[in-house]
């Protein structure tokens, strides 16, 4: 819902936000948001927008954006592994 709308509003095409046209499509399927681009759209830009969204909703401290192991064109949101950090702090 809101993440999908955020991407539609914020993705820039030819220097303009909110005007995706036919080249870029943002769809949602339950827990997955898919961005399909027929023009150049960098993964880094999508990662930047995702981090911006997380920061806006104050969950940037709990979630991180990482590339999937299976597919290099997929980003996943995962919780930070707090147990590992606690163990490192004790040392």
pLDDT band of residue 87 (cuts 50, 70, 90) is: very low
- The pLDDT, as a whole number, for residue 52 is 92
Side-chain half-sphere CA neighbours of 59 within 13 A = 11
Confidence check: pLDDT of 13 > 70: yes
Cβ partners under 8 Å of residue 25, min gap 6: 34, 35, 36, 37
Cα–Cα separations (whole angstroms), residue 53 to 4, 68, 69: 10, 19, 23
pTM of the model: 0.75
Confidence check: pLDDT of 90 > 60: no
The partner residues of 75 in beta bridges, in order of sequence, read 67
- The pLDDT, as a whole number, for residue 41 is 82
pLDDT above 90 covers a percentage of the chain that reads 7
């Amino acid at each position: 819902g809101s993440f999908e709308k955020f991407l539609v509003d914020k993705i820039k095409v030819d220097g303009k936000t909110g005007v995706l046209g036919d080249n870029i499509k943002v769809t949602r399927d339950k827990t997955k948001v898919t961005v399909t681009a027929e023009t150049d759209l960098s993964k880094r830009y999508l990662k930047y927008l995702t981090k911006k969204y997380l920061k806006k909703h104050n969950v940037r401290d709990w979630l991180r954006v990482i590339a999937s192991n299976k597919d290099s064109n997929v980003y996943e949101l995962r919780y930070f592994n707090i147990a590992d950090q606690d163990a490192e702090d004790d040392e």
